[in-house]
Amino acid sequence: MTTAYVQIISLALAGLALVMGAYLLIIGKRPWRGGERAEVAPRVRLLGVSYILVFGSAMVQVITQPTGIEAEALGGLMVLGGMIVIVVVYLEARAGRLATHEDRLDNRLRG
């Protein structure tokens, strides 16, 4: 009985993550960054794809409980989603460093 509750809770949370992934992929805005009006970076859409890959695979795995090749394929999709997250985090950090560097350059040139 406890396993059923854990699976239902896992499915609900994975469903929420899928909705978030679809939001990031389709709309492309980051809801955690309030009133940003600037053009959305492609890395935000990549993050949406990774959410869909990882949590979609998790939902399929919880529901069907596959074995063998099917389970390996789902695991591969989860790993691919995780790799996309790593790339997105790297790109976000690089963009932040570039913005900080440009700000320092602007301050030096001003005065």
Any idea what DSSP says for residue 32? T
Mean pLDDT value of segment 33-41: 62
What is the structure's pLDDT at 33? 60
- Per residue in 3-35, pLDDT tens? 889 889 988 988 898 888 888 888 876 666 666
- For 31, the 3-state DSSP assignment is coil
- How many C-beta atoms surround the C-beta of residue 88 within 10 A? 20
Mean pLDDT value of segment 67-94: 90
Report residue 99's pLDDT band, with 50, 70 and 90 as the boundaries: confident
Phi, psi at residue 76, to the nearest 5°? -65, -40
Give the residue with greater pLDDT, 63 vs 110. 63
What is the structure's pLDDT at 38? 58
Give the residue with greater pLDDT, 103 vs 3. 3
Distance (Å) of CA 34 to CA 28, 29, 76, 104 = 13, 9, 34, 25
Give the residue with greater pLDDT, 70 vs 111. 70
What is the structure's pLDDT at 34? 60
Chain center to CA of 20: 9
